[in-house]
Every structure is written in structure tokens, then in C-alpha cells.
């Protein structure tokens, strides 16, 4: 693992490419809607999150706070790219059924294996440990390009909402992912979930990916 981390910390070229994209992204955005997904009414929390909170109760015992976005500097952009790549390359994909013998279980991939929501939990934890505000790091349920349930991490910034995804090495603006966004954590309360812009029916939980 040490060699993997050293390798990823040195990916200056990828970070530079992202920094260049960041500089041009707002001008190329079609509209305000393309930067921020529409947020709807209250939604039910995924079962996996509820069970995760039962296991990691201190992490879910949070108070309601004001919404907060990250100021997306070039340094912050590089950190997003680094953590996304580091986790994607370090953790090996394994379904919950293969890993735990159950259909759905959210957990930190401390043994080096996990599925989509486990990648998300680790990226979220690493960013918070690096000083990023929890209110800007939102676990999100989507339908992927094949129509399957999937979990990603939405990062709310002053320049739009960006997605950290175990299926993509790039950090993309939400509207560039090709996904249908279903629901996510509220910025003010991690235990409250809100529906997202797409009105079509969708599954309520993230599938193993």
C-alpha cells in the first residue's frame, strides 16, 4: 500500500489537468442548473445508512448545522483528485454478498475491499480528516448508465457539485456523469435525506458495484 500511496501522491500531471479544467469550467457551463442539481422534498434514508449509523453511532450523532460549500481553489481541486484516485486504486471491488454474505451493508473498507458506498464512506472520512466540512460532503444515491443503483460522493463547492466515484478516475461535474440522481444527504443534517431533481421512479438504495 505504501508504494501505491507514493505513486498517487506524485500524479502532478493529472492534478495539473484538473486545475486547468477548473479554470475554464464555469465559463463553459450551460446554466446554473448544470452546476447544481435540483433538490426536492424529504426522502427516506437508505437502509444501509441506517444500519451503518447503528454500528458507528458516534459518527451519526450530529447536530443540525448551516449549509456550507467549499471554496474550490486549485489546491482543493488537486486534493479531491488525489483522494479519489488513492481510494479507487487502493480498495479492491467486492460485492456485499461476496464480502459479508448479505445483500447490502455499508462499512469502511478497512480490510482493503468494498463496494460503491464503502468507497464513498472512506473518501468522505479522508476529506473530513483533511479539514473539509461535512456539510459539503454528501453521500448520494444515483442510477448509473446501465440503470443500476450506485453510490457516489457529491462535493458541494462554490463552482458547482462535483462527483467522486469508484467507477471513474476523473472528478466530474454532476451533470457530466451521465447518471440519474435520486437522493442524497441534506447539507444541514447528515441523517436527513432529500430527493434530487429527476422526477422519474428510481430504486431507493445503492446496489453493490
Our count of domains for the chain comes to 1
- Is 33 inside a domain boundary? no
The per-residue pLDDT for 200 is 41
Quick one: pLDDT band at residue 198, thresholds 50, 70, 90? Answer: low
In the chain, what percentage of residues exceed pLDDT 90? 76
- Is 106 inside a domain boundary? yes
pLDDT higher than 50, residue 109: yes
The per-residue pLDDT for 197 is 82
- Is 207 inside a domain boundary? no
CATH of the domain at 161: 3.10.620
Q: Is 38 exposed, middle or buried (0-12, 13-18, 19+ CB in 10 A)?
A: exposed
Contact 203, 150 (CB under 8 A): no
The per-residue pLDDT for 34 is 84
- Is 209 inside a domain boundary? no
> What nine digits make up the cell of 168?
471513474
First to last CA, the chain: 22
The per-residue pLDDT for 15 is 47
The per-residue pLDDT for 136 is 97
Sign of CA dihedral 95, 14, 69, 158: negative
Q: For 64-96, what is each residue's pLDDT tens digit?
A: 999 999 999 999 999 999 999 999 999 999 999
Q: For 148-177, what is each residue's pLDDT tens digit?
A: 999 999 999 999 999 999 999 999 999 999
Q: Is 138 exposed, middle or buried (0-12, 13-18, 19+ CB in 10 A)?
A: buried
pLDDT higher than 90, residue 116: yes
Distance in angstroms (rounded) separating the CA atoms of residues 163 and 177: 8
- Is 162 inside a domain boundary? yes
Average pLDDT over all residues of the chain: 84
- Is 208 inside a domain boundary? no
- Is 119 inside a domain boundary? yes
- Is 204 inside a domain boundary? no
Locate all alpha helices (DSSP H) within the chain, ordered by sequence.
2-9, 12-28, 32-35, 47-55, 57-60, 74-90, 96-100, 116-129
Q: Is 113 exposed, middle or buried (0-12, 13-18, 19+ CB in 10 A)?
A: middle
Q: Is 144 helix (H, G, I), strand (E, B) or coil?
A: coil
pTM: 0.82
Query: Which residue range forms the structural domain that includes residue 54?
Result: 2-27+39-196
Phi-psi category of residue 131: left, alpha or beta, with phi > 0 → left and psi -120 to 50 → alpha: left
Q: For 136-152, what is each residue's pLDDT tens digit?
A: 999 999 999 999 999 99
Amino acid at each position: 500500500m505504501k508504494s501505491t500511496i507514493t505513486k498517487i501522491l506524485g500524479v502532478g500531471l493529472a492534478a495539473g489537468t484538473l486545475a486547468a479544467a477548473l479554470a475554464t469550467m464555469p465559463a463553459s457551463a450551460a446554466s446554473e442548473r448544470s452546476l447544481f442539481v435540483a433538490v426536492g422534498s424529504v426522502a427516506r434514508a437508505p437502509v444501509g445508512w441506517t444500519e451503518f449509523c447503528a454500528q458507528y453511532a458516534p459518527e451519526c450523532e450530529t447536530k443540525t448545522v448551516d449549509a456550507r460549500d467549499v471554496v474550490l481553489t486549485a489546491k482543493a481541486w488537486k486534493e479531491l483528485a488525489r483522494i479519489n484516485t488513492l481510494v479507487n486504486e487502493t480498495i479492491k471491488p467486492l460485492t456485499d454478498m461476496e464480502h459479508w454474505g448479505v445483500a447490502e451493508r455499508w462499512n469502511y473498507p478497512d480490510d482493503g475491499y468494498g463496494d460503491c458506498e464503502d468507497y464513498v464512506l472512506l473518501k468522505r472520512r479522508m476529506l473530513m480528516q483533511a479539514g473539509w466540512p461535512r456539510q459539503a460532503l454528501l453521500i448520494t444515491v444515483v442510477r448509473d448508465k446501465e440503470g443500476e443503483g450506485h453510490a457516489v460522493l457529491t462535493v458541494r463547492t462554490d463552482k458547482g457539485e462535483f462527483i467522486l466515484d469508484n467507477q471513474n478516475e476523473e472528478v466530474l461535474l454532476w451533470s457530466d456523469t451521465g447518471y440519474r440522481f435520486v437522493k442524497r444527504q441534506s447539507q444541514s443534517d447528515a441523517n436527513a435525506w432529500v430527493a434530487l431533481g429527476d422526477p422519474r421512479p428510481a430504486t431507493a438504495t445503492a446496489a453493490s458495484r
